């Protein structure tokens, strides 16, 4: 896996926090973005659902939690003469 250097950065004032810091917003009240030096997009073919992209976000792979969700299908139906797609 490619190593990432990520941090949290406030959209309002530009303050930065370490990615491991347990903060959910900046001290100024601003929203924090996750900023990575090297963005990595490597889907994991061994996983299903959103966790197949775990390599693309700065989370510890040992903390993956799942309720059994996975690749649910998209169903096409006709409703009042229109083609409608439903994601289950």
- Write out pLDDT tens, residues 20-74: 888 989 999 999 998 877 665 678 888 877 777 777 766 666 667 777 776 777 8
**Taking the C-alpha atoms of 69, 70, 73 and 79 in order, what is their torsion angle to the nearest 10 degrees?**
30
The pLDDT assigned to 1 comes to 44
The rounded distance, in Å, linking the Cα atoms of 79 and 81 is 5
The pLDDT assigned to 17 comes to 95
**Overall pTM surpassing 0.85 (yes/no):** no
48 close to 70: Cβ distance less than 8 angstroms? yes
């Amino acid at each position: 896996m490619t190593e990432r250097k990520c941090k949290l950065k406030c959209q309002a004032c530009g303050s930065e926090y370490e990615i491991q810091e347990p903060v959910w917003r900046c001290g100024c009240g601003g929203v924090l973005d996750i900023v990575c030096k090297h963005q990595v997009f490597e889907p994991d073919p061994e996983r299903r659902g959103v966790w197949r992209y775990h390599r693309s976000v700065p989370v510890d792979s040992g903390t993956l939690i799942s309720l059994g969700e996975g690749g649910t299908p998209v169903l096409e139906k006709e409703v009042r003469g229109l083609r409608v797609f439903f994601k289950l």
